[in-house]
A and B are shown apart, each in its own frame.
Chain A
Amino acid sequence: MDSSLFLQYLFAGITYGIIYAIVAIGFNIIYNTTGIINFAQGEFLMLGGMISISMLQFMPLPLAIAVAVLVTMLIGALIEMVFIRWINNPSVLRMVVITIGISILIREAALHVWGESVRALPYFIGSAVTSIAVFGTRISPQVLIVIGACSIMVLGLSLFFRYTSLGREMRACSANRRAATLCGINVKNKVTLSFMLSAGIGALAGAVMSPITYTQYDNGTGLAIKGFTVAILGGLGNSLAAVAAGLILGIIEAFSVSFLPLAFQDAVAITILLIILFLRPHGLFGSSEAARLKEF
């Protein structure tokens, strides 16, 4: 394999990988505060893309994306308040099933609002054919924008959780809800906030990747599954590990094309998921004791 081919695969892998990582981080944020895996996470990306595209008719691109992110955050909050908030002691099964149901609803609603056609935001820089040379290989500048935007989000989130009081309160909720309440933290609001945050980063990711991957009403499901694989691969709840895991999965998927028929590419991620679940459910970077302590 010559270096140009290698780099092409690498960049393809990084592109997929960073998107999966964002989805996984979205999962982790909600999981950390509530113990729920939100199967509707992928739909947030889809909504971010779709709403930006619709808004583009009325306002310039940056504003359209901002509006889309805000609207999706509101939808995230709405979901939490309508479906999640008032269930007492939800069992895992119930929550899994409910979030699946929510994901289906959002998808079908999107189908009936935007139709089945495929849309895309215009490329932020240049057009569908512009490419720039990087280390001897050519890629679209949009790829760099996706990588950049997602990296900034990851950085922003780690700063938020570490240094702001709001972030620290959310971490407290995830460590021990009861103790957090006793400290005077309004846990219920933090839960809503976590949904909003996950929705927001999902929407932004969905918008920046739209020119490359297109946005379609059923984009969300596939992304959610890959995102979940990455979250588990890194260790549920550990967002920095999710980034690493995302890159690993993305790169494996990209390179798999060189020895497997493309038709089986999607099966690669699922196979990895199953292997991890069977051999090391706490993920590559998680510790089994910590995993056992966490209530499901």
Chain B
Amino acid sequence: MTFPKRYLAVAGLLAMVVGIQQLTALTGTAYYLTQLTMAAYYSLLIIGLCLLMGYTGQLSLGHAGFFAIGGYISAALTTHDFSAHGDTLLLGLMEKTGMLMHRQSLYGEPLLNVHPWPACFIAIGMAVLVALVLGVPVLRLKGHYLAMATLGFGIIIYRVVLASEFFGEADGISEVPAFNLLPGLSVNGDFAFRVTNYYIAWGLLLLGLVLLLNLIHSRVGRALRSIHGSEEAAEAMGVDTSRYKLYIFVISAAFAAAAGSFLAHYNGGIGPSEAGVMKSVRYVAIVAVGGMANLWGALLMGVLLNFMSLRGMFGTYDDAVFGIILILIMLFAPRGILSLRMTNVFRARAKTPGE
């Protein structure tokens, strides 16, 4: 079996990532790395969403909710002072297994927080749990009902974080500590660690990409494409469609939560705007532009559009831009911008949802 073509593509992307970083170092424009790093994290969510929307045809208008679950739980656990509960059984256990850490607050008082590693696991775990619980009833729905259910989910998460004191209400959570992945590799927003963080973010994204590409080209992927082509036919062939749809829903939720968690550490904080409807719509728009079933397109568009938005290139028209993109793409190029005037072997197989 020849070396899979897709790995070559990934290697190509990796080369480009390194190339860009070197370029910025040479031209003294290292500040671009900040927005590129942030865009990479958002793109992690986007490729997960692309898998969901493109390969199982499920529209999710609430994916920002999973991002928020990941980000907020990581942020809350690593900043909330648990000293008051220090002598309970659970915390005692956590202390012994090294899951807690001691820090100082802004005011110099001692803080007992959860260490970023377990916090991240808990955050992603919660998202997975919620996706499982939500996915079972939601994925039975179709069409508009599915769209509204996911929208409703996103709004509930938004309302919860906006109303809870634990999640900082309207101000969100600040002072989120650095996430030390390994000695020397730390996710934080310090200027000194900028290049390291750039590679961490892109490393995570590339890892996610490889995972998804392998998934698509495996038996699971073929099952997905059959579901996408026709659910009834797939069922007739013995494919357990509801299990696969749930599986993918959970994976996309995990990706979103991971993105949220890491970005919360990178930014040193998170706010309720990350859970808003506009964000979810934005993610859908980006996946649509990139081509519903095209991971590469979604990744590219995710990085490009988020980069531009984070640099303020759209000015006060930020939301309007994504609205226009949505309309234009849906009207003229429902298969994504890269499908215009060029046919492609990959995409001939995976059709856009609902056709």
Direct contact of A and B (CB under 8 A): yes
Q: Which residues of A contact B (CB under 8 A)?
A: 37, 83, 87, 91-94, 96-98, 100-105, 107-109, 221, 225, 228-229, 232, 236, 261, 263-264, 266-267, 270-271, 273-274, 277-278, 281, 296
Q: Is the CB of A271 within 8 A of B156?
A: yes
Taken together as a complex, chains A and B put the C-alpha atoms of A229 and B330 apart, in Å, by 25
What residues of chain A lie closer than 8 Å to B327, measured between beta carbons? 83, 98, 101-102, 105
Q: Is the CB of A98 within 8 A of B355?
A: no
Q: Is the CB of B355 within 8 A of A91?
A: yes
Report which residue of B148, B149, B155, B160 has the largest number of chain A beta carbons within 10 angstroms of its beta carbon.
Answer: B148
Checking B137, B163, B284, B288 against A263 with a beta-carbon cut-off of 8 angstroms, the contacting residue is B163
Checking A104, A229, A270 against B281 with a beta-carbon cut-off of 8 angstroms, the contacting residue is A104
Q: Is the CB of B159 within 8 A of A267?
A: yes
Number of A-B contacts (CB under 8 A): 121
* 81-139 of chain B: CB within 8 A of chain A: 137-138
Checking A92, A101, A108, A278 against B144 with a beta-carbon cut-off of 8 angstroms, the contacting residue is A92
What residues of chain A lie closer than 8 Å to B334, measured between beta carbons? 91, 94
Q: Is the CB of B141 within 8 A of A277?
A: yes
Q: Is the CB of B152 within 8 A of A270?
A: yes
Q: Is the CB of A270 within 8 A of B323?
A: no
What residues of chain A lie closer than 8 Å to B317, measured between beta carbons? 108
Q: Is the CB of A296 within 8 A of B156?
A: no
Checking A94, A101, A228 against B354 with a beta-carbon cut-off of 8 angstroms, the contacting residue is A94
**Would you call B342 an interface residue if the criterion is a C-beta within 8 Å of the partner chain's C-beta atoms?**
no
Q: Is the CB of A270 within 8 A of B57?
A: no
Checking A108, A229, A277 against B323 with a beta-carbon cut-off of 8 angstroms, the contacting residue is A108
Determine chain A's interface SS by DSSP, over half rule. Answer: helix
What residues of chain B lie closer than 8 Å to A236, measured between beta carbons? 144
Q: Is the CB of B330 within 8 A of A98?
A: yes
What residues of chain A lie closer than 8 Å to B162, measured between beta carbons? 263
Q: Is the CB of A267 within 8 A of B320?
A: no
Q: Is the CB of A225 within 8 A of B323?
A: no
Q: Is the CB of A228 within 8 A of B148?
A: yes
Checking B143, B151, B155 against A92 with a beta-carbon cut-off of 8 angstroms, the contacting residue is B143
Checking B142, B153, B326 against A97 with a beta-carbon cut-off of 8 angstroms, the contacting residue is B326
Give the nearest-CB partner of B284 in chain A: A97
Q: Is the CB of B159 within 8 A of A270?
A: yes
Q: Is the CB of B326 within 8 A of A274?
A: no
**Would you call B331 an interface residue if the criterion is a C-beta within 8 Å of the partner chain's C-beta atoms?**
yes
With contacts A96-B147, A104-B322, A277-B145 taken as known, whether A270 is within 8 angstroms of B155 at the C-beta atoms is yes
Taken together as a complex, chains A and B put the C-alpha atoms of A225 and B148 apart, in Å, by 8
Give the nearest-CB partner of A266 in chain B: B159
Q: Is the CB of A93 within 8 A of B145?
A: no
Taken together as a complex, chains A and B put the C-alpha atoms of A101 and B288 apart, in Å, by 12
Taken together as a complex, chains A and B put the C-alpha atoms of A109 and B160 apart, in Å, by 30
What residues of chain B lie closer than 8 Å to A83, measured between beta carbons? 327, 331
With contacts A104-B322, A108-B320, A264-B163 taken as known, whether A98 is within 8 angstroms of B331 at the C-beta atoms is yes
**Would you call B277 an interface residue if the criterion is a C-beta within 8 Å of the partner chain's C-beta atoms?**
yes
Given contacts A102-B327, A277-B141, 11 further A-B contacts (CB under 8 A): A92-B144, A93-B353, A97-B285, A97-B288, A104-B322, A105-B323, A108-B319, A108-B320, A228-B148, A266-B155, A278-B138
Give the nearest-CB partner of A268 in chain B: B159
**Would you call B313 an interface residue if the criterion is a C-beta within 8 Å of the partner chain's C-beta atoms?**
no
Closest CB-CB distance, A252 to chain B, in whole Å?
16
Q: Is the CB of B281 within 8 A of A100?
A: yes
What residues of chain B lie closer than 8 Å to A97, measured between beta carbons? 59, 284-285, 288, 326, 330
Closest CB-CB distance, B263 to chain A, in whole Å?
24
Q: Is the CB of B152 within 8 A of A101?
A: no
Give the nearest-CB partner of A36 in chain B: B144
Q: Is the CB of A273 within 8 A of B319?
A: no
What residues of chain A lie closer than 8 Å to B147, measured between beta carbons? 37, 92-93, 96
Taken together as a complex, chains A and B put the C-alpha atoms of A267 and B148 apart, in Å, by 14
Q: Is the CB of A273 within 8 A of B152?
A: yes
What residues of chain B lie closer than 8 Å to A281, measured between beta carbons? 141, 145
Closest CB-CB distance, A39 to chain B, in whole Å?
9
A-B residue pairs, 5 tightest by C-beta: A91-B354, A104-B323, A101-B326, A108-B320, A101-B327
Taken together as a complex, chains A and B put the C-alpha atoms of A83 and B330 apart, in Å, by 10
